[in-house]
Amino acid sequence: MTETALPELVDSHCHLDFADFDGQQAELIARANAVGVRRMVTICTRLRNEPEVRALAEAHEGVFYAAGTHPMYAAEEPLITVEELVLLARHPKFVGIGETGLDYHYTAESAAIQAESLRIHIEAARRTGLPLIIHSRDADADMARILTEEHRVGSFGCVMHCYTSGPELAQTALDLGFYLSLSGIAAFPRSTEIREIFAAAPKDRILVETDAPYLAPPPHRGKRNEPAYVAHTARICAEAFGMTEAEFRAQTTANFDRLFAKAAA
């Protein structure tokens, strides 16, 4: 089976507005389409950049977008409101809330404002019915606590993007009905523990992404990532699930359509 004959694959998280891709988006999207990656979600991490990210989605048929305040920028940006997010969500190609979350690796000093911002995004996800997109790094205990507390207040959909945390947070997320998304990191030879966490998860709760321009999988590791390379991650990680590449593509695309229903084909 040739790559183009394989089932569709979705890049559930990338950053097409980043400077690494300036003026090259059309070519990047064409390369992705050529390997069966016909849809992608480009993520706005600062609300000041939302118009540019929205314009990319409007200009390209298979590109959808989400917006929020990345936790590393929570102390630098004006605190977003639920109402602002709800208003943005009216756009037909706006399909998710975030990315938001907690990052204590570089920005632990802003933990309090990160948590406040995260709870605002969660409420917006509840009100809109759109999935929450979570970034979590070195904050497993607080992340598990906040997600559990908020889920008791009212349910919401959620994906733990680029999941590289421990098995305990993964289990908490899965118990709440959330999804885990694997990136090129999961395809690195030494990422055995991460692959084991994913392999233990229900197959109907797994997504795949690039996080481009970051985290390129082999054979492009260390270079600029792009949406087409999600095909390499799918090919390598299918084995961890005991699936063929075609089965993995079909499963993760069906999962994406369930969670990101607004972007369903």
Q: Is 223 exposed, middle or buried (0-12, 13-18, 19+ CB in 10 A)?
A: exposed
210 near 11, Cβ under 8 Å?
yes
Which of 233, 219, 141, 137 shows the shortest CA–CA distance to 184? 233
pTM of the predicted structure, to 2 decimals: 0.96
Q: Which domains does the chain have, with CATH numbers?
A: 3-263 (3.20.20.140)
Cis-peptide, bond into residue 78, ω within 30° of zero: no
Return the biggest CA–CA distance within the chain: 51
CA–CA distance, 191 with 107 (Å, rounded to integer): 25
Tokens encoding 265: 């084909």
CA–CA distance, 197 with 113 (Å, rounded to integer): 30
Q: Please list the pLDDT of the chain residue by residue as tens digits (265 residues).
A: 566 589 999 999 999 999 999 999 999 999 999 999 999 999 999 999 999 999 999 999 999 999 999 999 999 999 999 999 999 999 999 999 999 999 999 999 999 999 999 999 999 999 999 999 999 999 999 999 999 999 999 999 999 999 999 999 999 999 999 999 999 999 999 999 999 999 999 999 999 999 999 999 999 999 999 999 999 999 999 988 899 999 999 999 999 999 999 999 6
- Dihedral class, residue 138 (left if φ above 0, else alpha if ψ from -120 to 50, else beta): left
Q: Residues 105, 169, 42, 4: what is their CA dihedral angle, to the nearest 10 degrees? A: 120
Which of 63, 67, 65, 58 shows the shortest CA–CA distance to 85? 67
Beta-carbon contacts of 176 under 8 Å, excluding residues fewer than 6 positions away, are: 147, 148, 151, 158
Q: Residue 95 is inside which H or E element, if any?
A: strand 94-103
Count of residues making up the chain: 265
DSSP for 217-245, written as a single string: PTTSTTS---GGGHHHHHHHHGGGGT--H
